[in-house]
Structure 1
Amino acid sequence: MKSAFRKVAVLLVVFVFSSLTGVHMFNLTGRDINKDRYIEVFAEDDIRVTTADLNLRSGPGTQYSVIAVMPKGTSVTVLSVSGSWAKVIYGSKEGYAHTAYMTQVSTQIMVTTANLNMRTGPSTSYSVIRVIPNGAEVKVLSTSNGWARVVYGGSEGYSSLSYLKLKSTLPSTGETIMVTTANLNMRTGPSTSYSVIRVIPLGAEVKVLSSSNGWARVLYGGSEGYSSLSYLRLPVTSTDIRVTTEELNLRSGPSVSYSIIAVMPKGAKVTVLSVSGSWAKVNYQGKIGYAHTGYLVKEGTYASSTVITKGLVNASTKQIALTFDAGWEFETTLPLLDMLDQHGVKATFFLRALWVKDHPDLAKEILKRGHSIQNHSLTHPHMREMTEAEIRKEFTDSTAIFKNVLGITPALFRPPFGEYNDTVLKVAGEQGYKYTVMWSIDTIDWATTYNGVNIDAKYITDKVLDRATDKDIVLMHIAYMKTVDALPRMIQTLKDRGYTFKTVPQMVP
């Protein structure tokens, strides 16, 4: 079976009984957890177990045909995840399954505490494949009802968990930082017979001063004591970077019943520390919490934003889009809107987000009159000169303003000065901007003169009429009365030529 070979942190959920996952509690030597919740371990492969009878489909959606039905409790290898669908290997078959009905388990390394039988199934009634010697390291793929599915010496089978223990990753001496994998008791001495000093919360970093016989002498929050090594791990350095596909809640635990720590904007980057079922434990700007995997995709899953200069939708009549950019000027907004109303034309306005923040009433009036508002950046910078982090902030902050002030999430982006590069397009795509909209006709209405020619209303009108073709996108600005004065003859002549005026969103798929 081909492995995914991704080092990710995963959660092995331990319950007395769970009707959702079907995983039963098992005991490990040296267990000393304040509240049994889960053990966090490391996986080389992304192995998951079905939590119900689950369809294996030929593609990532319910419209695809069913290849096989995987019984509840089946282990599969996950090759990749996109949205709520995973590409998996089941036996010799490769297909797609919904992540909501799979729980992620560990491929942790454990050590035998005696000569241990490997059997063909999870009980003593199954035949013995081989005997694993005392002290041998085995790979544990999954666990259930006190039995582990293991790999050892090229063989795969089942062994009793009673004779397996976690492999310690800590040297016997020397200080190091480790992280708790459950709410963990700190005791006055190295056994459960000693009294509890305090409870160290799940996910806390502790300084380990030394270790012996499965116990660590630790420092946490100004206290010194002893805690079980079974529930301490080295800090995760994860390369599993994902991007939010929608505005997404970061919660204090892995379900909607937990409180919201933060709201992550669409397109935000998070580091995934571990995954259990449909929930991921993530690091978002230094905050550790949980988010639903259905709204997280691998970084790079988004296609870069596509640059367009004309409309893409074919129609039975000729179409043209009038667009107006706004940077700082605003005085001509109402006259411009009145002129468009007089001629029954709906246009597209690419607004600088801080313009929207400074002039919310005007921005709302544009929407009220039926026009489309799209993104023209936050500050109108030269984006090719910016770092990726700076570019991403332009998008996240500007998108937030449009949503907060106007209640909309723009889907189109026009770069300031028409400047962009691969990084701008990549980030725009991650942020949900499918198209980066340029233009096919530039009226140059921002200039007073150009190549010795006066740029007045007649020049603007003639420029459009001389060059107009089907699906054109015309660039103008909110700033100048000459632009407003150019509209009557421009619009009427184009109508006479059989053109229909459309917004840019109406001209793209």
Structure 2
Amino acid sequence: MGIILRALIRTTAAGTLAGLVTVSGMVLGPLSQSAQGDWLTATTGVNLRSGPGTTYPVVGGLATGQRITALGDSTGGWTPVDLYGKRVFVASRYVTGDTTYRAADSTTGSTTIVGTATTTANLNVRTGPATTYPVATTLGKGTSVSLTGQTSGTWTQISRSGSLYWVSTVYLTTSATAPAPVTTGTATTTTNLNVRSGPSTSYGIITTLARGTAVTTTGTTQDGWTQISLNGSLRWVASSYLSAGSGTSVTLPVAEPVTSTETMYATASVNVRTGPATSYAVVTTLERSQQIGVTGRTSNGWSEVVWQGAQRWVSSQYLTSSQPAPSTVVEPISNSSFLASALVGSVGLGTTVPAITPIVNTVESRWPVVGPYYGTRIEPGSDHNDGRAVDMMIPNWSTTNKPTGDAIAAYLQANAQQYDVSYIIWRQHIWSVARASEGWRPMADRGSYTANHYDHVHVSVN
């Protein structure tokens, strides 16, 4: 999924936190009461503490304008708030309440729960149904969440600590055992068919399958719905729109796992799709020279590939078995913010957020062997999609330049605050500011060296 891991809470620089210095000329918003579920907005940089007083340890911080959820009333000048699922405290005079964003139902004081789901990856929880909304917290893989039945596009509303939030439907499943489902056979869709995260229309739509698509079934049904395995997760479709063949009882074959047989390279910027035609949804975009695993299966000029462990398709004409020579094309960027040498063969830098520029320029000046750089691209659920990430390609990554990638990853880790880094991925390991105490954590196999980040260092910013 390109795992989304932005931190909500970022302690501001020493000397600017409320309670440490006097902020002259600033109008602070006193807060005497704040009900559970209300949003609080920091009126200045302020510490978050483990208890209601300055004698308690600092456990985080809010920058001016950042929001956080209240967990109860303000008492003695301190308000309990939710920090990654933990109860911590903020000085009430440095935050202001906003009941516009109150999550609990204003009429009943409670939220109707229609079911539960489980996260299939580390998952950002947001205040609204889009990546433009702030991240309230991050849930670990395998976390159970309560569903309200409300959806918006590819987003699902959940209830947590009495408040309503939104998560990407793609990373939810109604099976606690995902993403390793047991499969029993296949069926075929008889019309364009919505795939949902649970067995009713109240659950969010994950994707839509075209008529005639083969799906892998698990043998589980519920109230007119059939459970299927899709991209390693358990999903649901309406049983009435599935056919096992001619309508007679048949023995369905056991589905085989999707594995690659060889590695190929993109000859140009090319879309990766959910099926073998341009009518299928775009999952991500490969850049020139980017490698991907192929299964050997083809269909009408399309090659089946493995992207992040899932079966996907790429137009065969844009794949080659040998790595193309580096492109000499320079990406046109009108503001000249990037070093000229970094633009050769790069794609998507011109639409990245400003924090990406100093990262690229520093890496290019310190390690000129690196490149090209890949910034913004179509990849729903990824920081690349909204320009907050860059992939820095490492030539000869498996031999002579492995130490270069190691050095870049270590440098960005050590200077994460300076460059506003959220997380770094290198050689199938991830390090994030939010979980810095855990060090570099291993990641699951996504099916190719590129998807596993062996040939490039990925960095996301806040």
Q: TM-score, normalised by structure 2?
A: 0.25
Q: Larger Rg: 1 or 2? A: 1
Write 1 or 2 for the structure with the bigger share of helix. Answer: 1
Greater relative CO (CA pairs within 8 A, separation 6+): 1
Q: TM-score, normalised by structure 1?
A: 0.23
